[in-house]
């Protein structure tokens, strides 16, 4: 069965044009009509890290918040802490970053909440009947509200290939321990003949799993390693290697399974993909100088996350696989395939242009 996916094109990059397009889309499809007075409406998004400028703008988020508040519901924005170094490893720095990036309550009309506590340890544990993920920990509000809105800025990603709504949920709506579980099969190796001993991987490793060996080459302690992939991003000499076969397939399936479990806790779900300013690196590590790998597509929306992701990818990859070309990794296809087997949605869709 085909699911409806809505698209409004945005080829003009200024915020006014994008705002007009977003408002037209929201008013045409009226996705929030079933929200009731005083309903809590969690709105998931990510800010990107300190140097990122291509993340979803607060102006666009404000429009979503305002449409929800017209129904006298209570929206709040949220994210969770990350496992790598940066401004989002704890709630204090994370909230400061949100303020600095324009996501203050006074500007967007809703509070921004770090859902897994100060250090990313707060939450409720669940056991999964899964081959790939046995136990996960999620922010405690999950399961306490019927509604969820997910806003995702589309990018490439060094591990997942493609970063969209599924990754935004699987990583962005889980506590730090569960982020580590999803990454745990991805253990990088040092190719010593390529290592220049620059130390960049040592500086960025969040758990100090990398050090210099006796021959002054980088060495990764597999016991300490989280598999977060930050060293891959830091290395400029292709001296860090991951088994992109077995390991990456497991990673792709874990993302699908965690996202499916999280979404099962919500009754009313609505997803929006913002397919513009599509960068080679994800918002966690991209900067203002980041390479743009695709022309702007527009804003896509659906109640079916899988149909939405497939439509977004198909539009971006119309002429060639942008995500594989940028990252040499096509594991996002495994994620979609596995998500389909888990009943997360349909890979068949009706694209309705607004």
Residue 69's pLDDT band, with cuts at 50, 70 and 90, is very high
Average pLDDT over residues 202-210: 90
The last residue of one of the domains, among 206, 241, 276, is: 241
Q: According to the model, what pLDDT value does residue 208 have?
A: 92
End-to-end CA distance of the chain: 22
- Judge whether 305 lies within some domain: yes
pTM for this predicted structure: 0.86
CATH number of the domain within which 213 lies: 3.30.70.20
Q: Are residues 158 and 291 in the same domain?
A: yes
Average pLDDT over residues 283-302: 91
Please, how many CA atoms are within 13 Å of residue 21, restricted to the half-sphere of its CB? 24
Q: Are residues 229 and 84 in the same domain?
A: no
Per mean pLDDT, which range of 54-63, 85-94, 174-183 is the poorest?
Answer: 174-183
C-alpha triplet 76, 81, 82: angle, nearest 5°: 140
152, 164 in Cβ contact below 8 A?
A: yes
- Judge whether 146 lies within some domain: yes
Alpha-carbon torsion (58, 63, 66, 67), positive or negative: negative
111, 99 in Cβ contact below 8 A?
A: no
Residue 186's pLDDT band, with cuts at 50, 70 and 90, is low
- Judge whether 34 lies within some domain: yes
3, 349 in Cβ contact below 8 A?
A: yes
342, 36 in Cβ contact below 8 A?
A: no
Q: Are residues 221 and 173 in the same domain?
A: no
Which residues have a Cβ under 8 Å from the Cβ of 161 and sit 6 or more positions away? Answer: 323, 324, 327, 329, 330, 331, 332, 333
Over 70: is that where the pLDDT of 245 sits?
no
Q: According to the model, what pLDDT value does residue 255 have?
A: 93
Q: Are residues 81 and 217 in the same domain?
A: no
The chain-wide mean pLDDT, for the chain, equals 91
- Judge whether 254 lies within some domain: no
- Judge whether 83 lies within some domain: yes
Q: According to the model, what pLDDT value does residue 219 have?
A: 95
Residue 177's pLDDT band, with cuts at 50, 70 and 90, is confident
Per mean pLDDT, which range of 165-174, 265-274, 277-286 is the poorest?
Answer: 277-286
Q: According to the model, what pLDDT value does residue 233 have?
A: 67
3-state secondary structure the chain: CCEEEEEEECCCCCHHHHHHHHHHHHHHHCCCCCCCCCCEEEEECCCCCCCCCCCCCHHHHHHHHHHHHCCCCEEEEEECCCCCCCCCCCHHHHHHHHHHCCCCHHHHCCCEEECCCCCCCCCEEEECCCCCCCEEEECCCCCCCCEEEEEEECEEECCCEEECHHHHHHCCCCCHHHHHHHHCCCCCEECHHHCCCCCHHHHHCCCCCEEECCCCCEEECCCCCCCCCHHHHHCCCCCEECCCCHHHHHHHHHHHHHHHHHHCCCCEEEEEEEECCCECCCCCCCCCCCCECCCCCEEEEECCHHHHHHHHHHHHCCCCCHHHHHHCCCCHHHHHHHHHHCCCCCCCEEEEEC
- Judge whether 316 lies within some domain: yes
Q: Are residues 13 and 46 in the same domain?
A: yes
pLDDT > 90: percent of the chain: 70
* Number of domains within the chain: 2
Q: Are residues 59 and 11 in the same domain?
A: yes
Report pLDDT digits (tens) over 5-33.
999 999 888 999 999 999 999 999 999 99
Q: Tokens representing 218?
A: 């980088």
Residue 305's pLDDT band, with cuts at 50, 70 and 90, is very high
Q: Are residues 312 and 275 in the same domain?
A: yes
Q: Are residues 41 and 174 in the same domain?
A: yes
- Judge whether 251 lies within some domain: no
In whole angstroms, give the CA distance from residue 181 to residue 126: 13
Average pLDDT over residues 63-81: 97
Give the domain extent around 197.
187-241
Q: According to the model, what pLDDT value does residue 146 have?
A: 96
Over 80: is that where the pLDDT of 184 sits?
no
Report pLDDT digits (tens) over 80-135.
998 777 889 899 999 999 999 999 999 999 999 999 999 888 899 999 888 888 88
Q: Are residues 133 and 209 in the same domain?
A: no
- Judge whether 260 lies within some domain: no
Please, how many CA atoms are within 13 Å of residue 27, restricted to the half-sphere of its CB? 9
Q: Are residues 151 and 28 in the same domain?
A: yes
Q: According to the model, what pLDDT value does residue 246 have?
A: 52
Per mean pLDDT, which range of 85-89, 113-117, 146-150, 219-223 is the poorest?
Answer: 85-89
Which residues have a Cβ under 8 Å from the Cβ of 207 and sit 6 or more positions away? Answer: 224, 225, 226
Q: Are residues 281 and 222 in the same domain?
A: no
Please, how many CA atoms are within 13 Å of residue 83, restricted to the half-sphere of its CB? 23
CATH number of the domain within which 157 lies: 3.40.50
Q: Are residues 92 and 57 in the same domain?
A: yes
């Amino acid at each position: 069965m085909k699911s409806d996916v809505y698209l409004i094109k945005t080829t003009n990059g200024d915020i006014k044009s994008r705002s007009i397009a977003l408002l037209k889309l929201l008013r045409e499809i009226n996705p929030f009509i079933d929200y009731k007075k005083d309903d809590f409406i969690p709105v998931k998004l990510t800010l990107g890290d300190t140097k990122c400028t291509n993340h979803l703008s607060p102006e666009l988020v404000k429009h979503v918040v305002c449409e929800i508040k017209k129904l006298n519901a209570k929206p709040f924005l949220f994210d969770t802490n990350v496992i790598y170094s940066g401004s989002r490893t704890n709630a204090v720095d994370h909230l400061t970053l949100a303020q600095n990036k324009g996501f203050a309550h006074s500007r967007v009309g809703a509070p921004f909440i770090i859902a897994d506590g100060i250090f990313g340890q707060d939450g409720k544990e669940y056991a999964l009947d899964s081959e790939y993920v046995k136990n996960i920990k999620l922010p405690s509000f999950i399961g306490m509200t019927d509604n969820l809105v997910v806003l995702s800025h589309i990018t490439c990603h060094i591990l997942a290939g493609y970063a969209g709504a599924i990754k935004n949920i699987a990583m962005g709506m889980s506590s730090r321990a569960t982020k580590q579980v999803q990454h745990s099969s991805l253990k990088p190796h040092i190719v010593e003949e390529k290592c220049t001993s620059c130390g960049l991987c040592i500086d960025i490793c969040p758990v100090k799993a990398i050090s210099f060996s006796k021959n002054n080459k980088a060495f990764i302690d597999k016991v300490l390693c989280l598999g977060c992939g930050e060293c891959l991003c830091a290395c400029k000499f292709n001296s860090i290697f991951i088994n992109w076969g077995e390991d990456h397939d497991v990673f792709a399936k874990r993302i699908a399974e965690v996202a499916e479990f999280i979404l099962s806790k919500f009754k009313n779900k609505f997803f929006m993909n913002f397919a513009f300013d599509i960068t080679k690196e994800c918002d966690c590590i991209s900067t203002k100088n980041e390479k743009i790998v695709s022309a702007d597509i527009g804003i896509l929306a659906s109640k079916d996350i899988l149909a939405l992701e497939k439509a977004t990818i198909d539009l971006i990859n119309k002429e060639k696989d942008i995500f594989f070309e940028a990252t040499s990794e096509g594991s996002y296809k495994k994620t979609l395939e596995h998500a389909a087997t888990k009943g997360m949605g349909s890979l068949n869709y009706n694209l309705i242009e607004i």
